[in-house]
């Protein structure tokens, strides 16, 4: 019998193990993958890279770790992030408490938590921490006929660890979200011909990625404490000076200059953080959206392709913007074809490739599905989690997720979710949010000293209403995004993350703890 079981050995699970072990608790981590790293163990597709700068997308809990690790690029690629997480696992001797290659399929509470793995093993613990990640369950392919395809196919979220050779092959990529935008330029360099099947164009900004100069690394390390503090005080968890003006308070030329500076910064917040109202006022947002569309027109030579690649169905930033390295320029190549499947939808996958509703047929040797994930809830509902009264989390969330602070759910005692729905999570620098969540959970367990804790129904309803109210005050619900569950057929359309920002959310969580964990019932 353990004090705590943690599911997942990615960024969340590794830090949770370190913190809970530091409390003197007996902890066991179950990880489905054959290695640590979570997202960065699985997502090995060509061009896989983080969209938060390396020096910020890293743990802050150990000053020694900060000083000894040298990031090589502005935006780290998957191999470097995985190497970092493997280093963390080794440096803090975490592996001895992690069971790899072990998928948890069920968990039931009956005074304590009993976890069942896919091999039938049952393990008990007082507390259960779900560190399963927000983007870890790939969406199934939704096109008929895949079994008929005679070529090879892959999903970006479950990429072969040995890699894929595209040399001279006719490749089709379905999807132009983040993984598509990152992989398409790299695949195009190798493929004989690349056909991109796009349903929804995405806003993307140039990353301006490159090596980190030694003097840059030294300067960051010398001021790391201040940099981390600034990040925690922002809305996004990315260090930046806060905006102080509306986009509509300044003249056209001043606004363009500000957007140009943000564009050249190569950052998620370079343009979105330029003014106070870009995510709450459609007229203000339109100024930024049109600026980015003008840049797409500059980068894409064919006017028809440029228009197809220019998003007009959602406000800028209401789907997570992408950072790219030569994405739009890829469509200037003679060996790359763009197919707009909103105008001519994919009808089926055939033995030789893909056919559209309009009758066009594309012969392909390899298909790549960059079609995303069942975000935020998918990894939680994939496990048959049953609370105090036997009701499953899956059933409880049939109409959409309901949590208290994104950390706990009424009816599920001693269960904690790291960066769950109802927290800033995917709207933020995930590492900042992960550390804040894990620290809050660890402090809570130290306070409990083995007692039982459960979110009250009233607190959960109040928080869920607050999350909904804050989200409704923004432009986010105007987009059919995975934030809303809109990418998964049949999933409730509910805005899942908390849009109040990292700094406000931290204050609210701290207030709950300071008031003796207000909104929770503690027994035992």
Is the separation of the CB atoms in 3 and 125 below 8 Å? yes
On the 0-12 / 13-18 / 19+ scale of CB atoms within 10 A, 117 is: middle
- Residue 326: per-residue pLDDT: 97
| Averaged pLDDT score across all residues of the chain | 97
- Residue 370: per-residue pLDDT: 97
Distance CA 39, CA 386 (A): 26
Distance CA 322, CA 271 (A): 12
- Residue 113: per-residue pLDDT: 98
Is the separation of the CB atoms in 271 and 263 below 8 Å? yes
269: enclosing H helix or E strand = helix 269-272
Q: What are phi and psi of 71, to 5 degrees?
A: -75, 140
Q: What are phi and psi of 317, to 5 degrees?
A: 90, -10
Q: 86: helix, coil or strand?
A: helix
* Banded model confidence at residue 378, pLDDT cuts 50, 70, 90: very high
Is the separation of the CB atoms in 443 and 513 below 8 Å? yes
Q: Per-residue pLDDT tens for 420-452?
A: 999 999 999 999 999 999 999 999 999 999 999
Kindly state the tokens that stand for 13.
């699970």
Average pLDDT over residues 18-24: 98
* Banded model confidence at residue 248, pLDDT cuts 50, 70, 90: very high
Cβ atoms within 10 Å of 130's Cβ, excluding its own: 26
- Residue 330: per-residue pLDDT: 98
Average pLDDT over residues 329-338: 98
Q: Nearest CA to 376 among 323, 433, 443, 441?
A: 433
* Banded model confidence at residue 208, pLDDT cuts 50, 70, 90: very high
- Residue 506: per-residue pLDDT: 98
Average pLDDT over residues 143-165: 96
pLDDT > 90: percent of the chain? 99
pLDDT > 70: percent of the chain? 100
- Residue 336: per-residue pLDDT: 98
- Record the pTM: 0.97
- Residue 260: per-residue pLDDT: 98
- Residue 74: per-residue pLDDT: 98
Q: 304: helix, coil or strand?
A: helix
Average pLDDT over residues 494-518: 98
* Banded model confidence at residue 348, pLDDT cuts 50, 70, 90: very high
* Banded model confidence at residue 383, pLDDT cuts 50, 70, 90: very high
- Residue 340: per-residue pLDDT: 96
């Amino acid at each position: 019998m353990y004090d705590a079981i943690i599911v997942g050995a990615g960024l969340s699970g590794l830090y949770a193990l370190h913190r809970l072990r530091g409390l003197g608790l007996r902890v066991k981590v179950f990880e489905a993958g054959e290695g640590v790293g979570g997202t960065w163990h699985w997502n090995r597709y060509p061009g896989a890279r983080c969209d938060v700068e390396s020096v910020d997308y890293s743990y802050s809990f150990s000053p020694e770790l900060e000083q000894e690790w040298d990031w090589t690029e502005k935006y780290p690629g998957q191999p470097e992030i995985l190497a970092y997480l493997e280093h963390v696992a080794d440096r803090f001797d975490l592996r001895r408490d992690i069971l790899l290659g072990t998928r948890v399929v069920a968990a039931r509470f009956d005074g304590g938590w009993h976890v069942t793995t896919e091999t039938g093993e049952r393990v008990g613990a007082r507390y259960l921490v779900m560190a399963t990640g927000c983007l870890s369950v790939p969406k199934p392919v939704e096109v008929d006929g895949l079994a008929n395809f005679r070529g090879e196919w892959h999903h970006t979220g479950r990429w072969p660890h040995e890699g894929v050779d595209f040399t001279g092959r006719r490749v089709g990529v379905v999807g132009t979200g983040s993984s598509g935008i990152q992989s398409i330029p790299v695949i195009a360099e190798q493929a004989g011909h690349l056909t991109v099947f796009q349903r929804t164009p995405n806003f993307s900004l140039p990353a301006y990625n490159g090596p980190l100069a030694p003097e840059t690394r030294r300067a960051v390390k010398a001021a790391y404490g201040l940099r981390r503090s600034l990040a925690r005080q922002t809305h996004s968890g990315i260090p930046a000076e806060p905006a102080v003006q509306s986009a509509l308070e300044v003249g056209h030329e001043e606004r363009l200059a500000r957007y140009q500076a943000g564009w050249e910064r190569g950052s998620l917040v370079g343009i979105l953080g330029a003014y106070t109202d870009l995510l709450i006022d459609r007229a203000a947002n339109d100024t930024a959206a049109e600026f980015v569309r003008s840049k797409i027109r500059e980068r894409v030579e064919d006017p028809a392709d440029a228009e197809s690649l220019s998003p007009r169905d959602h406000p800028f930033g209401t789907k997570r913007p992408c950072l790219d390295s030569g994405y739009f320029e890829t469509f200037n190549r003679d060996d790359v074809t763009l197919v707009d499947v909103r105008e001519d939808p994919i009808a089926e996958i055939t033995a030789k490739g893909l056919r559209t509703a309009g009758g066009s047929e594309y012969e392909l040797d390899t298909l790549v599905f960059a079609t995303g994930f069942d975000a935020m809830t998918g990894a939680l509902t994939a496990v048959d989690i049953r609370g105090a009264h036997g009701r499953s989390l899956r059933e409880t969330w049939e109409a959409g997720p309901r949590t208290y602070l994104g950390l706990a759910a009424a009816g599920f005692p001693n269960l904690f979710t790291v960066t769950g729905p109802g927290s800033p999570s995917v709207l933020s620098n995930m590492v900042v949010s992960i550390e804040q969540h894990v620290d809050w959970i660890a402090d809570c367990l130290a306070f409990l000293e083995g007692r039982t804790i459960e979110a009250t129904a009233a607190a959960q309803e109040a928080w869920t209403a607050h999350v909904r109210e804050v989200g409704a005050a923004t432009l986010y619900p105007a987009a059919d995004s995975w934030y809303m569950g809109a990418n998964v057929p049949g999933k409730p359309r509910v805005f899942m993350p908390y849009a109040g920002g990292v700094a406000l959310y931290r204050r609210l969580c701290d207030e709950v703890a300071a008031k003796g964990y207000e909104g929770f019932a503690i027994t035992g």
